[in-house]
Structure 1
Amino acid sequence: MANDPMLKFVTVPRDMPEKRAPDLRNQDFHEIYAEYADAKAREQASRCSQCGVPYCQTHCPLHNNIPDWLRLTAEGRLQEAYELSQATNTFPEICGRICPQDRLCEGNCVIEQSGHGTVTIGSVEKYITDTAWEQGWVKPVAPMADRAESVGIIGAGPGGLAAADVLRRAGVQVTVYDRYDRGGGLMTYGIPGFKLEKDVVMRRIDQLEQGGVEMKLDCNVGEDISFGAIRGKHDAVIIATGVYKSRELQGPGAGATGIVRAIDYLTASNRLSFGDTVPEIDSGELNASGKRVVVIGGGDTAMDCVRTAIRQGATSVKCLYRRDRANMPGSQREVNNAEEEGVIFEWLSAPKGFLGDPVTAVKVQQMRLGAPDATGRQSPEEIEGAVYDEPADLVIKALGFEAEDLPGLWDQPELAVTRWGTIKAEYTTGRTEMDSVYAVGDIVRGASLVVWAIRDGRDTAAAVLEDLSATAAMAAE
């Protein structure tokens, strides 16, 4: 037992990678966490208790074999650790950066529950895969043999790309269609570089292309090509569009100039990080520099907006959320990072209206928490007469996303959707009511996590392979 590299959680404390100082990191869009050194990664991996029932694995949507790759890391067997993590996760280095580990694997770590501090699972996962890239262990997809069948995937976000990876490894011909000029979906244009630097996403897309996945970018289905044409070209189609329709603000003055959508604001900022010319940044329309900024919402998108505004040089950044800190949907880690960087949170606050056009202030209604709603969360209630004006030159609405009307946009009335506009699809297989059409990720779940989209993409790709093989077997009889 003395030589066992594991079970060090009693003698070795939890130690996250060093975080850059707020007054330095809020000047740029580089990631805020440093990389582990090899010795530190081994040390932190050695804290894993190797418990018989690993709740970390159970609470990971991908059911990653976390205890085993932690042990391999502690033993210095990094290439084996990478291969094990890659076996269940298409993008481990991305999940290591952006997954809310505090709510998933780390939040359910056994030694955390026993008072010793959780294993830093996400940081070790990031370290393993970044090392794999540096050492050249990550290779292009190389199927043993090509198959004749082809699959069209609409959407180059995490769900679509995860499905493309699984299908291409099986030898299927894969074409991915996406409306944007770069693949990656919200990983590219929605999540800021200080959480996920863009070269991390681009190198994965390059890996898929080198392995034979065809990317048709700047291709808007319903305009540049019809859904029927895609369906006619391929043996199966996977819809992985995500949800991009922003929920709207209500109240007097909600249409004023200077009130913008979070997705537009974040996309503009991320385009600038690629070196693109962004007229909306140059004109100031989507630029917080020198402005008093108010962000409305309490999810991770709102956190991305407030932290981006700080980096753009806003004179002040405030976040309005109608519930309290304990009931917000966003990551507490992100809230802490934002507060360190100078963001002020106004809890129990909601917009009641807007002054000026261009906007000059938000009328803020103060709230209190009342009786629980159908989900068990306390419902916010207005405090009568408790209204004040919050000065603002730029208001960013980050109230979440809804599904676009795909049956209407694509002229496919038979594409069945739920009352929320999401596509009706079988759990785990992604099969829809249309023959050989599948759906994955947020367009089925509603706005959710990248890790769930990866899980859906991998599961649905397995179902597609099963169905293609069954069709081929029937044809051969």
Structure 2
Amino acid sequence: MTTPMLKFISVAQKQPEKRAATARRADFAEIYEDFKPVEATEQASRCSQCGVPFCSVHCPLGNNIPDWLMLTANGRLEEAYEVSSSTNSFPEICGRICPQDRLCEGNCVIEPGFESVTIGAVERYITDTAFEEGWVKPTRPVRERTESVGIVGAGPAGLAAAERLRAVGYQVHVYDRYDRVGGLLVYGIPGFKLEKDIVARRHKLLEESGVTFHLGQGIGDGEGELSFAALRAKHQAVLIATGVYKSREIGGPGAGLAGIERALDYLTASNRRSLGDTLPQPEETALNAKGKNVVVLGGGDTAMDCVRTAIRQGAKSVKCVYRRDKANMPGSAREVKNAEEEGVEFVWLAAPEAFVGDGHVTGVRASRMKLGMADATGRQSVEPLEDSAFTLEADLVIKALGFDPEPLPQLWGQPDLAVSRWGTLKVGQSTFMTNLPGVFAAGDIVRGASLVVWAIKDGRDASECIHSWIQEHASAEAVAEQG
């Protein structure tokens, strides 16, 4: 018997239980408990099955959310997983780290009036159950192809493309300079948002599907690196999915003092400790917040990752300085709330102007700000208040100001590889191909620092373009040979 939907009228929204803040401050385990089957069924049944599903419209992947919610409400979980995974290569990851409050859940049509459907938690429940029940199988292409594709970068865009290309039968080789698969999923995102065995599980599945990984393999002309020319010679097509890793800097007096660190360096060190790696000195001491007064600069999700990591490392105090107010913060509101619960202090409407210290930072001097007129995008400008300077005590300052692309043409000895004025790679809007024939690019290296879900979308779309190009190229060669 079909379970009725539209229960949002009679059933209240419920998120999975969160571990108490005092408990989760002590470790890097995920903070949300799993839904129980009855909870997942009940929450899925709140879906209104609307005619125009804005949850799907506002999902970068266009996930068929109402369909797998209905299947979950009816206990047809294996089918729900089939529907979910048909559009999303890694639903268990998106269910954990997507900012649902800004995407699917934030556009649920039962808001306002009723709280949105708990989409992300149900998505996570479906896929975790699928893994537990053995429904998730390695990809087995109908036929093997002789052509090979080289992918540079084992982050979400590269892995999504690898999964789709392998399904078509290509011989897929993924190259990454790091020693683990996942990119920022492993080294950038803390375990309390995404435990690393979730990524390792996908790595294993891709290997079982026939994807070959070359870890610790950099691209370039340095010692031990594989030249880009040699990479192109090895494969019929190449996909660049390196992401963006160059941290944005901040100037001002004292900006060069010791104790002022980049967010990615800090998060990578923390994740490596959690993975059991031993860090060399002085990184072990410099990139550890234990017993320190920590000030994080920035208001995005990376800043939230940093402040919540510092809390878990046993910082003496943790403050987040952001030049706008809470309503205008770019990070997830859910993450801000989690940070506040765990003891992070937010200093709103404040902008750093100098760093204090003698050799090592001891404080951040900032000025109070006020919101001004809105610009063309509708976002309010910020203006400093006169005579409002104040100083925050700091032994460790973490810059979480965003990321820019590395200069790949120079690093790889490819001066002809075209880039935009922002340093991202230029690609055809509908082809994902760079100006070099057979060389494609996808993810943050094209669109700039963005969400994991967009990287997955780009990787999947790029794989289709690569497949079409290889087929067309092979057909052209066959016609030439016959002629």
* Fold-level similarity (TM above 0.5): yes
1:29·1:194 contact (CA, 8 Å) conserved in 2? yes
The one-letter code of the counterpart of 2:219 is V
TM normalised by structure 1 equals: 0.98
The one-letter code of the counterpart of 2:208 is Q
Distance in 2 between residues matched to 1:7 and 1:78, nearest whole Å: 19
1:155·1:178 contact (CA, 8 Å) conserved in 2? yes
1:428·1:460 contact (CA, 8 Å) conserved in 2? no
Distance in 1 between residues matched to 2:428 and 2:323, nearest whole Å: 34
Q: For residue 5 of structure 1, report the CA deviation from its aligned partner.
A: 2.7
The one-letter code of the counterpart of 1:269 is S
Give the SS at the match of 1:457.
Answer: helix
2:157·2:458 contact (CA, 8 Å) conserved in 1? yes
Match of 1:406 in 2: 408
Structure 1, 314-323 or 217-226: larger mean CA deviation: 217-226
Give the SS at the match of 1:195.
Answer: coil
Distance in 1 between residues matched to 2:261 and 2:281, nearest whole Å: 11
Q: For residue 461 of structure 1, report the CA deviation from its aligned partner.
A: 0.1
The one-letter code of the counterpart of 1:181 is D
Identity across aligned pairs (percent)?
A: 65
Match of 1:308 in 2: 309
Structure 1, 395-404 or 272-281: larger mean CA deviation: 272-281
Distance in 2 between residues matched to 1:300 and 1:280, nearest whole Å: 28
Distance in 1 between residues matched to 2:458 and 2:149, nearest whole Å: 16
Match of 2:73 in 1: 74
Deviations 1:67-112 (A, max 9, x none): 1100110010101100110100000000000000011011111112
Distance in 2 between residues matched to 1:4 and 1:293, nearest whole Å: 51
Alignment of 1:183-202 (within 5 A): 183-202=181-200
2:3·2:73 contact (CA, 8 Å) conserved in 1? no
Give the SS at the match of 1:352.
Answer: strand
1:150·1:174 contact (CA, 8 Å) conserved in 2? yes
Distance in 2 between residues matched to 1:345 and 1:179, nearest whole Å: 36
The one-letter code of the counterpart of 1:464 is I
Q: For residue 374 of structure 1, report the CA deviation from its aligned partner.
A: 4.1
1:106·1:120 contact (CA, 8 Å) conserved in 2? yes
Distance in 2 between residues matched to 1:108 and 1:186, nearest whole Å: 27
The one-letter code of the counterpart of 2:116 is T
Alignment partner of 1:359 is 2:396: no
Q: For residue 371 of structure 1, report the CA deviation from its aligned partner.
A: 2.0
**Structure 1 residues without counterparts, runs of 5 or longer:** none
The one-letter code of the counterpart of 1:257 is A
2:208 to 207, 210, 217: 210
Give the SS at the match of 1:184.
Answer: coil
Deviations 1:158-211 (A, max 9, x none): 000000000001000111111110010100100000000000011101111111
Residues 69/394 of structure 1: CA separation in 2 closer, same or farther (3 Å cut) = same
Alignment partner of 1:252 is 2:250: no
Distance in 2 between residues matched to 1:180 and 1:74, nearest whole Å: 41
Distance in 1 between residues matched to 2:177 and 2:387, nearest whole Å: 46
Q: For residue 10 of structure 1, report the CA deviation from its aligned partner.
A: 0.5
Match of 1:47 in 2: 46
2:138·2:206 contact (CA, 8 Å) conserved in 1? yes
Q: For residue 280 of structure 1, report the CA deviation from its aligned partner.
A: 4.9
Alignment partner of 1:371 is 2:370: no
Give the SS at the match of 1:279.
Answer: coil
Match of 1:89 in 2: 88
Instruction: Say how many residue pairs are matched.
Output: 475
Match of 2:15 in 1: 16
Q: For residue 430 of structure 1, report the CA deviation from its aligned partner.
A: 1.2
Structure 1, 308-317 or 281-290: larger mean CA deviation: 281-290
Match of 1:381 in 2: 383
Alignment of 1:96-135 (within 5 A): 96-113=95-112, 115-135=113-133
Q: For residue 283 of structure 1, report the CA deviation from its aligned partner.
A: 3.9
Alignment partner of 1:26 is 2:28: no
1:268·1:281 contact (CA, 8 Å) conserved in 2? no
Give the SS at the match of 1:308.
Answer: helix
1:60·1:105 contact (CA, 8 Å) conserved in 2? yes
Distance in 2 between residues matched to 1:281 and 1:121, nearest whole Å: 43
Match of 2:217 in 1: 219
2:163 to 162, 165, 171: 165
Match of 2:471 in 1: 469
Match of 1:335 in 2: 336
Match of 1:349 in 2: 350
Distance in 2 between residues matched to 1:472 and 1:405, nearest whole Å: 32
The one-letter code of the counterpart of 2:328 is N
1:137 to 135, 138, 156: 135
Distance in 1 between residues matched to 2:150 and 2:281, nearest whole Å: 33
Give the SS at the match of 1:270.
Answer: helix
Distance in 2 between residues matched to 1:474 and 1:427, nearest whole Å: 23
1:428·1:456 contact (CA, 8 Å) conserved in 2? no
Match of 1:455 in 2: 457
2:322·2:351 contact (CA, 8 Å) conserved in 1? yes
TM normalised by structure 2 equals: 0.97
Q: For residue 265 of structure 1, report the CA deviation from its aligned partner.
A: 0.3
Distance in 2 between residues matched to 1:386 and 1:436, nearest whole Å: 56
Q: For residue 425 of structure 1, report the CA deviation from its aligned partner.
A: 1.1
Deviations 1:438-476 (A, max 9, x none): 110000010000000000000010011111111222233
Distance in 2 between residues matched to 1:230 and 1:376, nearest whole Å: 45
2:3·2:45 contact (CA, 8 Å) conserved in 1? no
